[in-house]
Amino acid sequence: MPHVITSPCIGTKDQACTEVCPVECIYDAGEMFLIHPDECIDCGACVPACPVSAIYPEEDVPAEESAYIEKNRAHFGL
């Protein structure tokens, strides 16, 4: 999974990240947005657009947010 959305997104759902995503791989998952791991092209456009700094490349997800790697995958049945 190229990029992962983490807990700062919960309840925020600003949509700035969805507006800049060239492949529209960011989906509304209820309380937050999640990135579809098979659709993301790893362009990174969403990272600076996120107003709460919730998006990371998978390898850079902080340890305390690592559960969101699986949460993103599980949401899409992967």
What integer best gives the mean pLDDT of the chain?
Answer: 94
Count CB neighbours of 22 within 10 A: 9
Of all residues in the chain, what percent carry a pLDDT higher than 90?
Answer: 90
State residue 70's pLDDT score. Answer: 94
Q: Whole domain around residue 15: which residue ranges?
A: 3-75
CA distances from 28 to 48, 52, 62, 77 (A): 19, 16, 22, 15
Q: What is the pLDDT of residues 20-41, one digit of tens each?
A: 999 999 999 999 999 999 999 9
Tell me the CATH number at 38. Answer: 3.30.70.20
pTM of this structure = 0.92
Mean pLDDT of 5-31: 94
What is the number of domains present in the chain?
A: 1
